[in-house]
Each structure stands twice: as C-alpha cells, then as structure tokens.
Amino acid sequence: MLAIAALILGAPHDARAFCGFYVGKADEPLVNHASQVVIAHHDDKTVISLMNDYQGEPSDFALVVPVPVVLQKGQVHIGDRELFQKIDAYSSPRLVEYYDPDPCRIMDYEMPMAAAGGMALNREAAPSPAEAKALGVTVEAEYTVGEYDIVILSAKESSGLQTWLQQSGYKIPLGADRALEPYIRSDMKFFVAKVNLTEHNRTGLTYLRPLQFAFESPKFMLPIRLGMINSQGPQDLVVYMLTQNGRVETTNYRTVKLPTGMDIPEYVRTDFGGFYKAMFDEQVKRNDMRAVFTEYVWNMGWCDPCAGPPLSRDELRSLGVFWLDDQPGGATPMYRRPGGGPMIYPQPMTGATPVTLTRLHVRYSADTFPEDLIFQETQDQENFQARYVMHRPWDGSPSACEGAKNYFDDLNKRKAHEAETLADLTGWNLQDVIKKAGLSPESQPKPWWQDIWGS
C-alpha cells in the first residue's frame, strides 16, 4: 500500500470570470493508487482524515501513524469515503472549452482569456503490559471505533518498539527501527489501527472506511518517512488542506504551482487524464522529484469554473472543519476534548465561507524527500486552479467575409502554437502531437530566427 503518514506500513492569467461552454475533468483517477489525506487545521488544532488505499484481506490490514499526542477514543472517528470523492472532484484539474465566435458578426472581438496509509501486516496477540514495559513500550490507550481496533503506544527506544510490534505479529520491514528513531526522539506517540473483523462484517462494506483523528499540537506536519521503508518505488500523495484563510505551503520543500491556463489541441478532450498524467510526470522530472505541487487554491464557498460542486457546510464539518458557525446544525461533534466533552469554536459568517482549500500533490521517494512534510498557512488568498483550455473552431468558410479570411489565417497559427505547447508541457514528441492534432506539415512551428533571417 502506498504510504502517506505511516510506518509499516506557469503563472495564471488575469482573474477573469470563465464563460466556457464546457468544463470537465478526467473520467478516470489522475493518479492510480495515490494516498489521499484531508487535513483541517486552525491555530494549533488539527483534524486528519486518512483514506486507506488498501487492497487485500481486512484481516491483514494495520496502520501505524506517528501522532504528537495520545489520542483518546472521543478524538477518533470513522470518515466518509464519498467526501473524499467530492473534494477530489471539486478541486480536480479541469479542462475548459470555448466555441470560437462567427468572425463575420463580431467586429471587435477579444477572445476570453483562460485566464497515509499503512502496510498489510499479519498479527498475533500483543505482549502483556509487563512484557511491553520491559521493552520500554507503554500502551497509552486502547479502544474500538467502528470497524477498527486502536491502540496508542509510546516508546523509549526504537528497537523496543520494533520488538513489541514483531512480538504482536506485525511483519516489520527491514530498517523500521531506524525509521522509528526520529519520532521517538521527538516524543511522538504511535497510532496503531487494525480491522476488527466482526465489526467490519457488520458494516456490510467491501472496502475500509477512512479514519479521522483530531488533536491539539503546535506541530503542523504530515509524517511520510516511515511509509518509505517498504516502498518499491516513488509514491504519490494528494493532500487536501482546509484552513480558515490562506493558501498552505510546505516550509521544508519548494511548493510550486503547476502550469495553468495553456491552450491545448482539441483532441486532448478524449484523453484528458492521459494528458494530465504526462504533464505531471514532466513537471516532476523537471523538478528532480523534489517539489510539492499546488493543483488548486480556492474559497470553498464557490468555484469558477467548477469541475464539481463545492462541499456543503455539513460536509465540511464532517471533514473536521470545526471553526464554522453553529447555525443551523449546532456544534460539530468531530473535535472533542480528551475528557470527552465537545470543543466548540464558533466563527461568525461574513461574506465568503471561512474555508480555503489548498490541494497539494507530491511524488516522493526516500532519496528525494528525506524529511516529513512541514506546513504553514500563508496570507495568500489568490485563487488558483490547474486548468487547460480548448477552443472549438468556427465552422464557416474563409470566403464568407474579410474577417473570416483573417480568422483562418490566425487559426492555423493558433493550432500550431497549441501543438507546441502540448509537446512542451508533456515531453511528448512534437511530430506525434502535430499528427494527432490533424495538422499539415506546413503548420509546424518554425524556429524563431526564421522570422528574422528567412528560411
């Protein structure tokens, strides 16, 4: 399983409103087997939702996540997989389509600007409290939430924690003790979840539901190092950051906005997913797999254009957005004090919804991302989305009017430029792109110097 947080586991155009005829997104996942995390964060309070990208027998599943505090039962909940699908659709990179106007009817036309998962583990009965103590491991809490049995551990030494996990039947990857050591030195705890088969069978579901947990800590981070010890190659992670005001970025890695607003050939519409994957692969390559990419930043109250509808207040609350006002649904039950009582943080509504979504996408390996992801909320509230633009040509005749002749002259140049842009974004062979776009050899972009010196 791709790991997120677990062991063992181009500048945008001017901000103009879009008036596209069609707005769409890929019909297939843009990244296969990517781990997904939703993080709602405000002040020192954080709610993390983990989508388990697990394939296998439920009896073999376990998740170990470093957490900064001991989590009590009231701080752990079962999430809703559909909300991950909705927030993904809302923030997904999008394709916008425009129809060219009739050049014979528009005299002064300006074209609209496009402006953590875990690892499968077998297990046996855990060591007794006395045996655990001898290993320097303390069981801080144990409880069942939904279909998950959960134990919170603390440890004095990584070797002792590794031994405890091995004696409990967890098949620890080689080198786990070295990966555990930094978290133990930081006095972090370990959230261990496994499937309770009886409870899972009662749900009648064929998949594992997301896990959510809430805590209060000054650490605004996501552990990814532990999940790399059993990785067989680079991994993809999509993080949906929900904050009150501004865009979120990483402080210990470069955060780069993806190229956006480019005009691309019409044929991409039938394989937008393939185009986007190739474009992302190329951007990862150009940044040596050492950057975190911003795919979307927007206030959750609206979108323009929309690839999917914004989430409702109730849906945002279910994802842990605890600072929304309490009308009409009352206080969110997600964020609770360790003693069990609800923690309520009312926020009066003025204008837009006080929730900004930042979608971050990272492809990482142990060599290129040696540290966990550390985040900060910025004051930047500028909207951003990874969007790509198609133009449907006018279907009239070049002889219809003087404007039509000029239009078709410009159209050929535009199509050639679109092909060149697509090849540059994706790394695809330009001649192949020209062929797929149905362009003639005469449409190929010429070197810039030919305009000066001729052929």
Residues 6+ apart with CB under 8 A from 378: 246, 247, 248, 249
**pLDDT, position 328:** 44
**pLDDT, position 296:** 96
Band of the pLDDT at 229, cuts 50, 70, 90? low
Band of the pLDDT at 49, cuts 50, 70, 90? very high
Distance CA 236, CA 221 (A): 17
pTM for the model: 0.81
Q: Tell me the mean pLDDT in the region 70-89.
A: 92
Contact 220, 46 (CB under 8 A): yes
> pLDDT tens for residues 186-215?
899 999 888 888 998 998 888 889 999 999
Detail the DSSP E strand segments found in 225-290: 235-243, 248-250, 254-257, 262-263
Percent of all residues in the chain with a pLDDT value above 90, rounded to a whole number: 45
**pLDDT, position 26:** 63
Q: Which residue has the tokens 């909320």?
A: 377
Pairing of strands 94-99, 189-195: unpaired
What would the two tokens of residue 278 be?
């190739």
Backbone angles phi, psi at 213, to 5 degrees: -145, 145
3-state helix, strand, coil in the chain (%, to 5): 25, 25, 45
What would the two tokens of residue 86 be?
């909705």
Which long-range contacts (C-beta less than 8 Å, at least 24 apart) are formed by 183-188? 183/66, 183/223, 183/226, 184/155, 184/156, 184/157, 184/158, 187/154, 188/66, 188/67, 188/68
- Check pLDDT > 80 for residue 334: no
Distance CA 46, CA 216 (A): 6
Contact 8, 170 (CB under 8 A): yes
**pLDDT, position 108:** 40
* H or E element, residue 327: none
> How is the chain split into domains, by residue range?
22-326+347-392, 395-455
Q: Which residue has the tokens 């992670």?
A: 237
Distance CA 444, CA 435 (A): 10
C-alpha angle with apex 355: 353 to 357, nearest 5 degrees?
130
Band of the pLDDT at 341, cuts 50, 70, 90? very low
Contact 231, 309 (CB under 8 A): no
Of residues 55, 64, 68, 50, the one with CA closest to residue 168: 64
Distance CA 92, CA 296 (A): 8
CB atoms within 10 A of CB 330: 10
Of residues 440, 441, 420, the one with CA closest to residue 430: 420
Percent of all residues in the chain with a pLDDT value above 70, rounded to a whole number: 75
* H or E element, residue 78: strand 76-78
